[in-house]
Amino acid sequence: MERLIQNYLLDLFAEHGIDLDEPEHDDEGWLLTEDDYPAIRGAWQEGKNGQVGRLDIDVVIDEDRRIEEVFAGTGEGKAGCRDALDNFARNDFHVMLAACWHVADKSKLAIQRLSIAGLPWDAYVGNFTLRGDDVEPLEVPEEAMTALQAVIATAPLTREVHWIRVFYGNVGDGRTQIEVLLDNEPWPAGDKALASVSWPQADRYYSLRNFIALMPVDD
């Protein structure tokens, strides 16, 4: 499966003008940028007992920092892996491409100027992607981004790239799943902001996922 993942990523980045390198004598599946950082790799874990599979995507920004993301894949074997890769391509990819490789496709993300602790930042905001059972189109409440922007404005961030992963799940019967991560770690303030939003309710399962990168702007 490693070869499938590497080929997919090589083609995906090449479509956007980035030629990644496959280092010699590497058995961990890393793809490098001009033999240096940023580097990316994917690893697939097949689901057990009918469960969905899992794709881990790691992006090493520098020697000290790494983005770690996980994507579900529906189907067995290569079909499940491709489904998870497609999920990555629809969701995090364009934000990572802008923040780490400095290639921003404005048709695939929004770029917003924010003030955080009185200093200017650019936020690369991906689209909310919808998955679930018998999914029908639904409108993401405008207050979702408003609530996130408000809590981001108060975050104690160092002047380097940061990333936020947002997940909302509608389980049904009024039950929900909420998880907001800041730099791979649980972010209770983000969870609280997301919980304050009036999300569309349904008697079926659906999930919404969003990825945001924050870049400091030089004065």
Q: The domain 105-216 is classified under which CATH number: 1.10.3470, 3.30.450, 1.10.1200, 3.30.500? A: 3.30.500
What pLDDT, on a 0 to 100 scale, did the predictor assign at position 133? Answer: 67
Q: How far is CA 93 from CA 71, 99, 147, in A?
A: 12, 10, 23
What pLDDT, on a 0 to 100 scale, did the predictor assign at position 174? Answer: 78
Task: Give the residues across from 95 on adjacent strands.
Answer: none
Provide the percentage of residues in the chain whose pLDDT is more than 70.
Answer: 98
Q: Are 195 and 208 in contact (CB under 8 A)?
A: no
Q: Are 167 and 71 in contact (CB under 8 A)?
A: no
Q: Which of these ranges, 29-38, 46-55, 107-116, 188-197, has the smallest mean pLDDT?
A: 46-55
Residue closest to 56 by CA, chosen among 46, 70, 66, 72: 70
Query: Residue 96's pLDDT band (boundaries 50, 70, 90)?
Result: very high
Summarised one tens digit per residue, pLDDT across range 13-72 is: 999 999 999 988 777 889 999 999 999 999 999 998 878 999 999 999 999 999 999 999
Summarised one tens digit per residue, pLDDT across range 155-170 is: 999 999 999 999 999 9
